[in-house]
Chain A
């Protein structure tokens, strides 16, 4: 066993730290609280920040250098993310492009598609959103109905996508569409569509946080050139699954850093407002312990990555753990802070250490996106515990 970062990784962390110290001029939480900030100005700030990171070579850490990456691995990626959290840097803008589509193109795209789409994706010139979920297809994603019918050199798309994060600000969408109505998995294809194509309409969707990061996308006889098909016809499901594996990464490790940082702020806040009784300490103690265990899970995954072992279905355990922990954490935070914890961030009375109210609301999304807690438990039962199929 060796749970310490290697000399090489420590050196990389030092380099990232120095660069961030010189380049993050204002903590992101201050920008968010700024009364002059709007949803649009925040998007622009994230675009500028992404370009800066890209210029310094910190995007696509684990991509081959040929595609603008560093040829690093998940350990370097986790170190970078950890340091971004510690310095409270802005989030990059093109998260779905870089997180999901980039790997899809690197593994399954044509040479031409990589040359066309990867550079503007990294430079935040083209922002991507994800068209997987539909109003009738959430957890049972393979039941999706948006159709793509080949007509000459184009696919003609009809249907609706929903929960498309960044929809309102995106230029492009990657879509899972049905090319064969009879083949549940093999009838799905992976297509790239420009959002200003005639027949495509994007509508913002307001979330429980009040933000409209989500959108819904409608397709009415929208024509997409066949050259925008990734992989072969019918390969969409396989591509989506390999791409979703990228979403997993060493996420417990980075989440533990973020939650640990906020937990420290909560502990300080409790002292400031005089909540130091044993009931409060027991709540803080439990959160601290659970976050440390999450960190241990993350270190284990990171060490396995470094040791050349790719995570399998066990990553479902991590997803359930961190998302359900964050809900307990944010709920408890609001309990401990009293009604003041419910103040929205722009309220002059709101605490400036963390946006407690927004995080409380946001945590409800975490047990739904990227495979709900229920789907993750199905995966654990079937693929890890090898239990018999549920007759339903």
Chain B
């Protein structure tokens, strides 16, 4: 037994940390979040491809890295530490679905090379409610409305869930961008009445959902870890009542709780990832638990990071709000906490 990363995985972590610091520092994230209409720099996408990130989970036959959920978690954690904007996880998951379905090598090669962006469009209701008009696929056309499609306005193709299975729509158009609290996670409403091709049954998403939950939980881990680091630096220098505020026991205990949540998330994320990669019988339970827990934990840690900074923590000028917002956005996506509780109960047979 061993919890530590392998040598290759540790190398991936250090190279990804370097890449993020060099190419995607938080200052750049700020510019994107404040100024970009796309919510990311499409120009950067080629460097993601060069690093091999876009084909991380794909087989070598289509130019992928043939790596697993542990490697994805490493990359997501590092990206979370600088709050990388953009559709990275969505692109990786959509590509994994396409690869599992088989065929479409040309499209996959474009995805791996960063020439095309394919995204999963799944949400049938703007408020995750049950009152929906299901999207249908018949006679080679897909009809319906998909809500909260991540980066739907930029996508070159959509993988759409319908009551008749999973279908692929090229150059969808008909998108209405949505403005939400995290400017690095853009969404769009997509109204579909388009020609589409059948990809496969919805069960293609089962494994991808586990990997997506772990990937999102890993980004949550990076987000909370970095928020705690920023806070620890601050409380060591900020003085009140004549001493560094980090010396006050009431704040120390708060930070101990923040660390407890971050480290417990780390255990859960990497166990979930390991389960995915070894196709362990506990995969569904471990992944649901990692996502549900990390979502709660990140909201707490990022919220307390703002609290411990006081008034400055509430300013746009400080970076903390980017992490806080990303935590909330991720908490509700890739299986919300509520949905993952239910997934966990079902997986445990309760």
Contact = CB atoms under 8 A, between A and B. Distances in A.
A1 B6 contact: yes
A392 B348 CA distance: 47
Contact of A289 (B6, B259, B344): B344
Contacts of A290: 293
Interface stretch (B37-45, B117-125, B268-276, B299-307): B268-276
A384 interface: yes
Nearest to A382: B252
Interface of A: 1-6, 9, 75, 264, 267, 281-282, 284-286, 288-290, 292-297, 299-300, 302-304, 306-307, 314, 317, 320-321, 374, 376-378, 380-382, 384-385, 387-392
21 contacts: A1-B5, A281-B345, A284-B345, A288-B350, A289-B289, A289-B292, A293-B289, A296-B272, A300-B271, A302-B1, A307-B2, A320-B256, A321-B264, A378-B253, A380-B256, A381-B253, A382-B252, A385-B255, A385-B259, A387-B235, A392-B249
Closest 6 CB pairs of A and B: A285-B341, A381-B252, A292-B289, A267-B350, A306-B1, A380-B256
Interface string B1-31: 1111110010000000000000000000000
Q: Which of B1, B246, B292, B342 has the most CB of A within 10 A?
A: B1
B139 interface: no
Given A292-B289, A293-B267, A385-B259, A391 B243 contact: yes
Interface in B296-350: 338, 340-342, 344-345, 348, 350
Contact of A292 (B2, B256, B268, B338): B268
Nearest to A380: B256
Interface in B239-285: 243-244, 246-249, 252-253, 255-257, 259-260, 263-268, 270-272, 274, 278, 285
B4 A377 contact: no
B341 A281 contact: yes
Given A282-B341, A288-B344, A385-B255, A1 B263 contact: no
A296 B1 contact: no
B249 A390 contact: yes
Contacts, number: 157
Nearest to B3: A303
B232 interface: yes
Contact of B3 (A3, A388, A391): A3
B259 A317 contact: yes
Nearest to A2: B2
Secondary structure dominating the interface of B: helix
B236 A388 contact: yes
B257 A4 contact: no
B271 A3 contact: yes
Given A292-B289, A293-B264, A296-B271, A281 B1 contact: no
B10 to A, nearest CB: 11
A285 B344 CA distance: 7
B113 interface: no
A307 B1 contact: yes
A293 B221 CA distance: 14
A321 B285 CA distance: 19
B70 interface: yes
Contact of A286 (B1, B232, B268, B341): B341
A86 B9 CA distance: 36
B223 to A, nearest CB: 17
B285 A300 contact: no
Contacts of B255: 381, 385, 387
Contact of A378 (B235, B247, B249): B249
B2 A1 contact: yes
A296 B285 CA distance: 11
Contact of B350 (A264, A380, A385): A264
A292 B244 contact: no
Contacts of B155: none
A4 B274 CA distance: 10
Nearest to A390: B249
Contacts of B9: 1
Nearest to A75: B1
Q: Which of A281, A384, A389, A390 has the most CB of B within 10 A?
A: A390
